[in-house]
Amino acid sequence: MWFDQSPYECRVEWGRRGAREAADRGDIVIIVDVLSFSSTVISALTNGAIIYPFPPNLDGKEYAEKIGAKYLLGRAEAARLSQPSLSPVSFNEHHHKKKFVLSSLNGAFCTWAASMVPALLIGSILNAEAVASAANQLRKQTRASITVIPCGEQWGDVQNNEDTLRPAIEDYLGAGAILNYLEGKKSPEAEVCIYAFQHATPKLKELIWECGSGRELRGRGFEADVIHCSGLNAYQTVPILNIDHFLDFKEWSEVNVYT
């Protein structure tokens, strides 16, 4: 393949295809879905919840019943029932030690596509510096390269021969924030992503608020989600995939040591 970023230790690839290729290479992968899978997983783990990612094309409700977890409903339905959902602000201390299955078209799907890697981390604007620090540690231990995956969104009205991926600037800026803290030689694609984040930093919250995805969520009544997800380095929580669910990196690293 002529198109690749193989000479570089830190790379950026888009969406499900990028996740699969990173997994095929055996890279450390950081999944970035700012609005809202990544931010929700980070917020849930911060409150002690146990999250099982699951692709939406399979029966998540049946899987949840099998493992004794609750299947997370859509934002609107969950809000009516006062239940947690893909909305990151729906999680609180009452969900400590409770198990949830979380499906989404983008973050959960990309997680599924890249699950067989040396390490899969969840990153966002919320934990950019912390997740980069964890990835730097893992790269030193494994000698694997790092690929950051901005997931993007999916078009809902795709016609013949059209791509379904809708690039999302919030994920690109989240990826740039993480790459900004990563050590190692950056690909040109990663460098440009970093420059985008650095240029946007003074207006980061405003850009997330006004971007297409932010406007879409606000139009559905979830303004609090948009505000919450734009808080740069607000959390130290770093979710890492542990077979089928996420653990905080600090907890995971106590029992997983690469030699």
- State residue 25's pLDDT score: 95
- State residue 253's pLDDT score: 94
- State residue 140's pLDDT score: 96
Residue 59, SS3? coil
The pTM of the full predicted model, rounded to 2 decimals, is 0.97
Q: What are the residue ranges spanned by the domains of the chain? A: 10-248
Over residues 169-217, the pLDDT tens digits come to: 999 999 999 999 999 999 999 999 999 999 999 999 999 999 999 999 9
- State residue 221's pLDDT score: 95
**Tokens 């905080």 found at:** 248
**Containing H/E element for 233?**
none
CATH number of 10-248: 3.90.1560.10
d(CA 39, CA 89): 9
Residue type, 137: Q
Count CB-CB contacts under 10 A for residue 154.
16
Q: CA 182, 146, 116, 2: dihedral to nearest 10 degrees?
A: 160
**Residue 188 CB burial class (10 angstroms; 0-12, 13-18, ≥19):** exposed
Q: State the number of CA atoms in the 13 A half-sphere of 76 facing the CB.
A: 5
Count CB-CB contacts under 10 A for residue 132.
24
pLDDT (tens digit, 0 to 9) for every residue of the chain, 259 residues total? Answer: 568 898 999 999 999 999 999 999 999 999 999 999 999 999 999 999 999 999 999 999 999 999 999 999 888 888 888 899 999 999 999 999 999 999 999 999 999 999 999 999 999 999 999 999 999 999 999 999 999 999 999 998 899 999 999 999 999 999 999 999 999 999 999 999 999 999 999 999 999 999 999 999 999 999 999 999 999 999 999 999 999 999 999 999 998 865 4
Taking alpha carbons only, the member of 3, 10, 4, 8 closest to residue 136 is: 10
d(CA 132, CA 238): 9
- State residue 248's pLDDT score: 98
- State residue 165's pLDDT score: 94
d(CA 84, CA 79): 8
